[in-house]
Structure 1
Amino acid sequence: MTHPGPPTQLFFSTPAQRAALARERFFEEGEQPTGLVNEAVLQSWSRCNAAGKRTRDRIEAEPLSALRTDAALRHSRLLRAAASPALAQLEQALAGTPSQLLLTNAQGVIVCTGQRTPCAAESALPALARLGMDLSEASLGTTAPGIVSATGKGCSVLANEHFNEAILGIQCAAAPIRGVDGQLAGVLDLSVEGRGFGFDAYALIASYARGIENRLLQLQSDDLLVLAFHADPALLGTPLEALAGIDGGGMVRWTNATAARLTGAQRGLPALEVFGQPLHALVALARHPGPHALCLPNGLTAWCGARLQARDGAGALTPVAATCTTPPAEEPPARSAAPRTLEEAQADSIAQALQAAGGKVARAARALGVSRGVIYRHLQRKS
């Protein structure tokens, strides 16, 4: 009596093989192939099925109308400004690869694209990687930027993990960018067609997305005190720094993810409760460059810097001890009272700079490190 030999392959050893098996079980047999592909991909497949999409649907390779594309570009002005330095650096880093860099708004519409080296095997990517193209699940089915737009969570999607069969040759990795309201503001995506990335695309894209998010938070912080801090001073000025925005009433208006982890606090709390210092003491940190040691209420010592944010997103105005509370008792009695709000502090700084500059707006703007428009708006408000 003879026995059948062992199966030729006991396990599906590569991600591509596991994804192929998952597609067969999900789309042909109606099973949930848990463990074969990322859970985010399975959930996206389910959402696409529930929406009535089919894997062989024809993909519309035309961008949105000119009117809708222009609207998307206008609404993403600050996002694109925040992303510009990072995209330039990324393009340099990716110059020798066939990777395509994309920035979408929260709805998945491409608002900025990077240059790339064409790949001989590509067929679908050039048509999709254009300004105004909609990469959302509703348009393309499962893609990395589509999943991020739908869930707000970063992910990677391998070639045959895509829902639509027309784009099975593409691999993509995408990470979220959030704004001061905590909601998704955009998505940074890296895609390639053919042989794959050859490096950890998600780790790269997630790091740059954090940097873009930090810059966007600051650009959206009109007339706020922005604190940058970390337990490791070497991380200040990097995508890993903690950031918080504080308003003239001494309330924390926003924090980035690192700040929330280091302080254990979220937005909407008094700065005194989060940082253990009254507002005037935090504003005073902006007087001197360099990080200052700050003992947080949770016992952690953080190195902190601060700046007053102008309305046009420019750098700090000449800082003064602006506060909504009474200055410390040890202040010399002869010293003039500090302005009561951040807006008054900025107005006082402009007035001092104009006086020192003999009334010359351009010279005062250079001294403050802001645009002339900031000075002119101040003068208009006074008139």
Structure 2
Amino acid sequence: MTQRSHADRVAEQSQSKSATSALAASWRRSMLKYGLDPGDGRRPERLSLAELSARRQAMEHFLKVAGPQLDQLYTIVGLSGCNVLLTDATGVVLDQRVSDADAAQFRDWGLWQGMDWSEAAQGTNGIGTCLVEGRQVTIHRDEHFRTNNIGMSCMDAPIWGPDGRLLAALDVSSARADQTERYNRLIGAQVAQTARAIEAVFFHASFPQARIVVAADDSLDATMLLAVDKDDLAIGATRAARRALGLEREGAFRPRPAADLLGRDDEMRGFDRAERAAVARALARAGGNVSAAARALGVGRATLYRRMARLGLTEKQSRLSHG
């Protein structure tokens, strides 16, 4: 497809009210909302070094945590001529991994640190459309809005912050002319997996003193996580956990008992097991003496007897196991 015919096709579908696909909706946004021209040959704008440095500094902790995951992803896709990019929530590239052999091509395309790949700036593209729609996307060659970008394939996934807000986009772009849509799907799956890994690692790093628990054992989403403090209060939740548990979608998180949130029998058994283990340890250290164990736990003897009964621990069992 020539650049002129591509621009004509994009313009026609952008103005067609009968076009209902997600791609057509993005093209329509690009032309009508942002006022972009698909035939515009200008390259993406680049931030000054000072502006880029300020943005990187603002996300320094996140970039440090994400770095090893970018390295790992690059070892998988780098040899096939791919460029690994990490942006902020506005679509500006903050970090990347690319081979020296492919660097010139990607730099010429503007897929480089400091470049603005928001949908408002470049129209439909992997990074910008992923951020606008908040979902995993693949934009393959002539699915791009601008004719300048139809030589690339871009696979992207969003990364959500510990506050439930969109934090970044992870992108793998390919310059290969022979790249198939089937191969794009394989790369896209790896990008999504890496994005979830970055999200989970950053969530752990954001609550260093908390215990991190999975909010749903039957979920395939590895980012459905809760941060629980020493008092068993949930003090943080990932976006996936917030949605699953009906919590605030974004922003400040009101602490509440983790048991109330998890609420299912299997999770409650998990908390009971933890309490049972603590009581059993106290009894072991006291040689089976309930009074001494109660003093060590800071509770009354009668209270400890009630807890032992609820947890299935008897005085006879404790004496037999330590006698």
User: Residue 242 of structure 1: CA displacement?
Assistant: 3.9
Q: Contact 2:81 / 2:174 at 8 angstroms: preserved in 1? A: yes
1:253 and 2:223 equivalent? no
Equivalent residues, number: 271
Q: Secondary structure at the match of 1:95?
A: helix
Instruction: Give, in whole Å, the separation in 2 of the partners of 1:213 and 1:270.
Output: 24
Instruction: Give, in whole Å, the separation in 2 of the partners of 1:149 and 1:181.
Output: 16
2:294 to 319, 333, 337: 333
Q: Do the aligned partners of residues 162 and 65 (structure 1) sit closer, same or farther apart at CA in structure 2, a change above 3 Å counting? A: same
Q: Do the aligned partners of residues 156 and 119 (structure 1) sit closer, same or farther apart at CA in structure 2, a change above 3 Å counting? A: same
1:83 and 2:66 equivalent? yes
Give the TM-score taking structure 1 as reference length.
0.60
1:162 and 2:147 equivalent? no
Q: Contact 1:231 / 1:302 at 8 angstroms: preserved in 2? A: no
Instruction: Give, in whole Å, the separation in 2 of the partners of 1:166 and 1:241.
Output: 36
Q: Which amino acid aligns with 2:48?
A: S
Matched with 1:43 is 25
Identical amino acids, percent of aligned pairs: 24
Matched with 1:296 is 267
Higher relative contact order (Cα pairs below 8 Å, separated by 6+ residues): 2
1:211 and 2:197 equivalent? yes
Instruction: Give, in whole Å, the separation in 2 of the partners of 1:191 and 1:244.
Output: 33
Q: Secondary structure at the match of 2:138?
A: strand
Instruction: Give, in whole Å, the separation in 2 of the partners of 1:56 and 1:118.
Output: 29
2:80 to 97, 103, 125: 97
Q: Secondary structure at the match of 1:100?
A: strand
Q: Which amino acid aligns with 1:188?
A: L
Instruction: Give, in whole Å, the separation in 2 of the partners of 1:134 and 1:331.
Output: 66
Q: Which amino acid aligns with 2:136?
A: G
Q: Which amino acid aligns with 2:217?
A: A
Q: Which amino acid aligns with 2:86?
A: L
Matched with 1:133 is 115
Q: Which amino acid aligns with 2:113?
A: L
Instruction: Give, in whole Å, the separation in 1 of the partners of 2:5 and 2:192.
Output: 29
Which residues in structure 2 correspond to 1:174-253 (within 5 Å)?
174-193=156-175, 194-196=177-179, 198-200=183-185, 201-228=187-214, 231=217, 240=222, 242-247=224-229, 250-253=232-235
The answer to which structure has the higher helix fraction is 2
1:329-356 residue CA offsets vs partner (Å, 9 max, x unmatched)? 9992322659xxxxxxxxxxxxxxxxxx
1:147-182 residue CA offsets vs partner (Å, 9 max, x unmatched)? 122222221111111111111111101001111110
Q: Contact 1:26 / 1:33 at 8 angstroms: preserved in 2? A: no
User: Residue 25 of structure 1: CA displacement?
Assistant: 5.3
Instruction: Give, in whole Å, the separation in 1 of the partners of 2:6 and 2:292.
Output: 70
1:31 to 13, 16, 33: 16
Q: Contact 1:82 / 1:215 at 8 angstroms: preserved in 2? A: yes
User: Residue 265 of structure 1: CA displacement?
Assistant: 4.6
Instruction: Give, in whole Å, the separation in 2 of the partners of 1:149 and 1:174.
Output: 9
Instruction: Give, in whole Å, the separation in 2 of the partners of 1:57 and 1:21.
Output: 14
Q: Which amino acid aligns with 2:93?
A: I
1:63 and 2:24 equivalent? no
Further displaced range: 196-205 or 138-147: 196-205
User: Residue 79 of structure 1: CA displacement?
Assistant: 2.0
Q: Contact 1:174 / 1:187 at 8 angstroms: preserved in 2? A: yes
Q: Contact 2:10 / 2:145 at 8 angstroms: preserved in 1? A: no
Instruction: Give, in whole Å, the separation in 1 of the partners of 2:90 and 2:191.
Output: 19
1:273 to 226, 247, 260: 260
Instruction: Give, in whole Å, the separation in 2 of the partners of 1:221 and 1:246.
Output: 9
Please provide the CA RMSD for this pair.
3.8
Q: Contact 1:109 / 1:134 at 8 angstroms: preserved in 2? A: yes
User: Residue 249 of structure 1: CA displacement?
Assistant: 6.5
1:73-126 residue CA offsets vs partner (Å, 9 max, x unmatched)? 011212212211211111111232011110001111111101237469x85664
Unaligned runs of 5+ in 1: 1-15, 278-293, 307-320, 322-328, 339-383
Give the TM-score taking structure 2 as reference length.
0.70
Instruction: Give, in whole Å, the separation in 2 of the partners of 1:255 and 1:158.
Output: 34
Matched with 1:113 is 96
